[in-house]
Structures are given as structure tokens and as C-alpha cells.
Amino acid sequence: MPAKPTQFTLQTTDPENLSDAEAAAELASLAAEIARHDALYHGDDNPEVTDAEYDRLVARNRLLEAAFPALIRADSPSFRVGSPPSSAASTGHFGKARHARPMLSLNNGFSPDDITDFVTRVRKFLSLADDALAEFVAEPKIDGLSVSLRYEAGRLVQAATRGDGAVGEDVTANIERVDAIPKTLLGTVPDILEVRGELYMNRDDFLALNAQQQDQGGRVFANPRNAAAGSLRQKDATVTGDRNLQFFAYSMGETSAEIAATHWEFLTALRGFGFVVNDLSSKSPDVDGLLQSYDAIGRARASLPYDIDGVVYKIDRHDYQARLGQVARAPRWALAHKFPAEQAETTISAIDIQVGRTGALTPVARLQPISVGGVIVSNATLHNEDEIRRKDIRIGDKVVIQRAGDVIPQIVRVIAESRSGNETAFVFPDRCPICGNDATRPDGEAVRRCSGGLKCAAQLFEGLKHFVSRDAFDIEGLGARQIEQFITLGWITTPADIFALGSHRDAMAELDGYGAVSIAKLLAAIDSRRQIGMARFIYSLGIRQVGQATARLLALHYGQMDQMMLALNPQADLTAVHAELVEIDQIGAAMADDIISFFGNADLYQIVQQLRAVVTVLPPERPANDSPVSGKIMVFTGSLDKMSRAEAKAKAESLGAKVSGSVSAKTDFLVAGADAGSKARKAAELGITVLDEAAWLDLVSNAGTDSSG
């Protein structure tokens, strides 16, 4: 069975609404998450997510990199193919094999517009006239394991997996047991020839293997691809030979002599050498032809004996392929057109309301369990009451569901024609189903929220889970199960109560699962967090829209928790507070409203004060106090040549400056690049010092070293 997914939330915020710091943090998170999934898929053959979910991660990463090119990371997934060879290769079972030519990955397309853009880019890159012929080959994208086969003098001498694209695992001994792969080629072949293709398992063989594995108490595979990969990596090569693996050849690696001038001719040559080439491959002169091939292959998908997840398009001429070359990890001359996420039909048996950390009431459809993409699905989020109304979703409805990139499945549509008349409309509650407090819907928002705050058990539970999480107080040993138990016992009603759990030591020892050692470890972990940085403290409070980056901005702006609590107390001048907050770079009006709303709530304000009484909040480090911009309020505008604005802002903050997003009378310096616009005019009107890029660089050239603060 697939491994249990980790709790990773794919963000959907428009990049235009992200600060540089938030974008950098999300890119770092995506790089780590995608690398983890690459290792699970290519290295361990045990993916946690569907292809559609993985594609969503990659697409989000690419979107952010396009919006923030200065923040592209050295370890960006855009530069990586697959994953390093699996642990088996490093422990001596499979050696490493370096590819003579890289085994590249493919960029993905999902819509006809993506295919049109691909063909247009290819033709534009090649400077082809409108009437010039440029043919493409369309081939089914087999959902298997990529393998490269090296032949010398017509005999198989090495077989290797893709690995990270440069180095794979040497699986020659096992491949030699696969009957579907020729060991000696037919006809006249070059002295050196690398043939690449996909090793796969037919569905019937997969089902039979799983039945056998289950009977024998062995590993049951999640899907045919995993079964093929697991079968190839057997320590006993005879087991690999018994698994009836199949192989489609589809591309060329290193060769000592030219075989064909086009890819289509190469596929024909492969058949003559003794390889199996997919008969659904076809040649097309334009986008319409490619889309017709895609539709035809898609219609045949269900009846094929093997799994496919899309269609690959390649420009036919090899000289065009050579001219187009590659970018990052993928060739410019090929594209994978992925099929839509797999869908299934089931019935809504009930609709429940879940209450989140910020009080949001989220409707969740309880479904008759159904398998979608190899995963059993029993619930799907309905998002909000408008979504229920828009799709006319009723209890008892038959619906189409899919797992199209969200970990929680979604309902695509209601099958209205299947209604019997016994379906019932869902009435969205105007009171919290957990605590009974009013559930109000602010103007302009789609979400109802419980007004109970931390007096609501659901909000308290979710809020405390966030409070102890890794990026907040990071209290080891205090997880969801313990928090729920301690809330039920009445030991925790606010975050401050966590630091008084020692008073329940004796009672805790009476609970199942709590021995003297585990209790001591838990209380020690709590005590070790009695000092905490100001940014972590702010983040731990769970204020709407305040993530780690914004928490750090607030910490740097106020400097001391005393100053922040004084400025944001419920009796403060809200207009002045709002104006001050929006002057902080990357904090907008809506975020400022949420910050004010949190601290303006007298109950929440008191809870924060209670927490401050039992922990010490450390002020943020302020580096380079003697720098020329230390303590100064700076604004950056326009385009800079020597560094990006993101880099310039980070430099200013590292030197102790406060970076603001708007010009006011409090601004000390405006750094104006090209096309500075209205901010430069306002600075001039207010008599603020305006620096061009050269003057800014000169000002900080001899300043102290950077620090993360």
C-alpha cells in the first residue's frame, strides 16, 4: 500500500500577492517536497501522491519561479531529473551506471492551449516560415520505469535505470532475465547503440502478482508501475524473470553511427532490430493532428492492457531536435500531454461541518467509499456554502469525484439525471456545531466563521496543534492525540496551560501510555521552550494571514513584544494602527485588518498576555547596528540593474533597516531604480532623500555582513 501522505499544503495565493520573503519560503518548501516525492517515485518506487498531485506541485513551483526569477534556487526542481540512485545502489546490491547522454525528463502540458503554445515555441525557435512543414510524432506515455539499454556489436552489455538523469542503477543482471528485451539485436546495427524505453507490467499480470503476494504474506504493490519497479530491483534476478515484465522502446541515447534522419524512421529501425514499439504511435503535421491523436489514444486507454498517463509529442526531424536542445532538465523538442485526473462516481451519504483553527466552517461530503487513482476515497471538501449552492449539491446525490492535485478529493459535478427525488438539500448552519456560538459571514467573504474563538473546542484544538508545531513552539512529544486528551480532561484551555502541565504529573501517570520516562521527556520538552524568539511567538498565535515571513516582519518592526502589545491593545487608535501596519513592506490592508482584529479581541489579547507571563519572548536580532541604514525606514521602487529588488530589500534588512512598501513622512530613504513612478514623486514632495542604485550600493558597500536576524 502507498505510504501515508505527509501534511503538506499546496498554496494557491496569486504570486502577485506574495512578498519576496513569502515566495522564497514557499519555493524552499516546494523544493524539499518535490525532492522527497522524486525520491519516493524514482528511488523507492513507493509514491505517496498521484501524478496529478505531483504535477500540481511542479506547476506551482514553475509559476513562482516565473514571477520571482531572482529567487530561483540552486536546488530548484526545474534543474533536476528524477532522483539519485536508490539506496540499493549505494549499499552494494546495484552498482551505479553513468549515462553517456543524460536521460532527460519532460515538461508537461494539460490543455489544447498548452499544445498550441508548444508547437508555436518550437516553430519560432527554429524560425520556420508559416508554410514550412514541421511534423511531430505522438506516442502513448507509458506509466512504467524508464530504462536505458546499451548494446555493443549488437549485444546487450549494460542496462541502467534513469536515476537522477546523469547516473542510474546498473540493473543488467536483472534485465537479462526479462524476455521482452532482446539480448542480441537483429540486422545491421551500429557498434554502439543505446536504446531507451519503458519497462512495465500488464494489468492482468499485476493483479495476479498481488493475489500471489497476498497469499504468501508478501508486499502488495499499489499499482503496475510500482510492481514493475519492485520486480526489476529484486536481489534474486530469477524473480525478475518470473514477473513477465514488458518493454516499449521509444528513444535513442548514444550511438556510434546515424540510424535515421527522423524519429519516425528510428522507430521503424527499432522494430527491425527486434524491439517492440507502440503501435498507437502516429505522425502529425500540426496541432490539430496531435490533438486528434491524443483523443484517439485517450479513448483507447481503458481497453489497453497496460497503464498510460498521457501522450508524448516529439518533433520528428533529428536535426531539429539537435538545434532545439534542452532547457534545465527537459528537451525543448518534446512535451508530455497529460490526461486529466482519474474520475469516479459515488454517492454523498452525508455532509458534515468541520471547524478550523481560525473558526472557518468547512462543509465536508461523506462519500460511499470508492477507489480513485488507486486510493480509497471516503470524503471530499465542499469548500463553502456558495460552492454547495453553485453545484446544487444535495445529500443522496450521485457525484463525479477526482483527485486533481488536492490531497483531499473534490467533487467535479452532480449527476442530476440520476436523482430519485429522495435527495435532501443541505442547510448551512448559522451557529457553530461545536460550541453553539454564532457563525457569521463577513461582507465580501465566502466563509462563515465561529465567533467563539478559543472558547470553541474545535478552534482550541486546531489552534493548539498549530501552537506546538515545528515552526511555532516546536514542543516534541505534544501532538494531536495528547492535546485532544488534555483538552478533554480540562487541563488545557489556553496555550499558557501547556506550561502548567507539570502540576498534573501524578494524574498523567494514571493515563494509558504515560510512563515515568515519557512524562519526564514531555515536561522537559515543554520547559525547554520557555524562551522563544519573537517571530516564532507571533507565528504561534495563529493569526489569520500571518505566516512565518509576516511574523518576522512584525517582530523586526516592533522590536519588543511589549511595544507590539502596547501598539495593538484593544483600546488603541485603530485608524493609526492600520496606517502603521500597511506601511510595513509586504503587509497589505486585508492582512492589517486581521492583525488588528486578533489583538482587538479582548479575550484573545488577555490569552496572549497570560502566555507572556509564563514564557520569555526574545527580541529579534538586529544586525549591523552601526550601519548607515540601521534603524532607518527604507522604500525600494523601480527596476534595479545590479541586484533584484528582493536582494536589495534583504540586504537592507540585514543591515538593520526597516523596509516599507509605501512612502510617508517617516521614510528616511527611497531607493529609486528605472521607472520609479509615483513613489519617487511623493518622496520628492516630502523632501525625503532619494538614492539611485549607484548611491545605494555606495552607501552599503562597506557596511557589516549579512545576517538572517
pLDDT in tens, 141-181: 998 999 999 999 999 999 999 887 888 899 999 999 999 99
Amino acid at 275: F
Look at 60-64, 115-119, 475-479 and tell me which has the smallest mean pLDDT.
60-64
How confident is the model at residue 396, as a pLDDT? 95
| Cβ count within 10 A of residue 299 | 9
How confident is the model at residue 22, as a pLDDT? 81
In tens, the pLDDT along 271-314 reads 999 999 999 999 999 999 999 999 999 888 878 899 888 999 99
Q: Which helix (H) or strand (E) holds 537?
A: helix 534-540
Look at 262-276, 291-305, 486-500 and tell me which has the smallest mean pLDDT.
291-305
How confident is the model at residue 78, as a pLDDT? 66
Question: Which regions of 305-393 does DSSP assign to beta strands (E)?
Answer: 308-315, 326-327, 330-331, 334-338, 343-355, 361-372, 375-381
What's the CA angle centered on 451, arms 446 and 456, to 5 degrees? 115
pLDDT exceeds cutoff 80 at 550: yes
CA distances from 687 to 176, 628, 649, 665, 679 (A): 79, 19, 22, 9, 12
Return the CA Rg of the chain. 30
**Pairing state of beta strands 308-315 and 334-338?**
antiparallel
Full set of structural domains in the chain with CATH: 15-80 (1.10.287.610), 96-338 (3.30.470.30), 343-425 (2.40.50.140), 452-529 (1.10.150.20), 533-618 (1.10.150.20), 633-700 (3.40.50.10190)
Between 587 and 18, the more confident residue is 587
What pLDDT band is residue 538 in, cutting at 50, 70 and 90? very high
**Pairing state of beta strands 145-152 and 192-200?**
antiparallel
**Pairing state of beta strands 689-691 and 669-672?**
parallel
Which residues have C-beta within 8 Å of that of residue 448, sequence separation ≥ 6?
A: 360, 361, 384, 385, 428, 429, 430, 439, 440, 441
Would you state the cell numbers that stand for residue 163, as one nine-digit string?
A: 536515476
3-class secondary structure, 675: coil
Between 642 and 363, the more confident residue is 363
- 202-224 burial: b if 16+ Cβ within 10 Å, else e: beebbeebbeeeeeeeeeebbbb
pLDDT exceeds cutoff 50 at 2: no
3-class secondary structure, 326: strand
How confident is the model at residue 1, as a pLDDT? 37
What pLDDT band is residue 709 in, cutting at 50, 70 and 90? very low
Please report which residue ranges of 385-479 form alpha helices under DSSP H: 385-391, 457-467
Separation CA 286–CA 132 (nearest Å)? 11
Q: Bridge partners of 365?
A: 351, 380
pLDDT exceeds cutoff 60 at 90: no
Look at 31-40, 287-296, 298-307, 488-497 and tell me which has the smallest mean pLDDT.
31-40
Separation CA 515–CA 611 (nearest Å)? 28
Separation CA 430–CA 42 (nearest Å)? 48
- Residue of 510, 567, 561, 519 lying closest to 538 (CA atoms): 561
What pLDDT band is residue 328 in, cutting at 50, 70 and 90? low
Tell me, yes or no, if 141 is annotated catalytic: yes
3-class secondary structure, 183: coil
Separation CA 144–CA 201 (nearest Å)? 8
What pLDDT band is residue 219 in, cutting at 50, 70 and 90? confident
Separation CA 620–CA 344 (nearest Å)? 52
Would you state the cell numbers that stand for residue 622, as one nine-digit string?
A: 538586529
290, 313 in Cβ contact below 8 A?
A: yes
What pLDDT band is residue 4 in, cutting at 50, 70 and 90? very low
pTM over 0.95: no
Amino acid at 45: D
How confident is the model at residue 404, as a pLDDT? 52
Separation CA 568–CA 580 (nearest Å)? 11
How confident is the model at residue 334, as a pLDDT? 95
Ramachandran angles phi, psi of 133, nearest 5°: -80, 130
Mean per-residue pLDDT, 131-137: 93
How confident is the model at residue 641, as a pLDDT? 79
pLDDT exceeds cutoff 50 at 407: no
580, 565 in Cβ contact below 8 A?
A: no
- Residue whose C-alpha cell reads 485532544 in the numeric block: 484
In tens, the pLDDT along 92-106 reads 467 888 888 888 888
Separation CA 394–CA 398 (nearest Å)? 9
Catalytic residue among 4, 96, 124, 141: 141
Mean per-residue pLDDT, 667-680: 86
Between 591 and 17, the more confident residue is 591
| Cβ count within 10 A of residue 48 | 18
Percentage of residues in the chain having pLDDT higher than 90: 46
Mean per-residue pLDDT, 680-693: 90
Separation CA 473–CA 467 (nearest Å)? 6
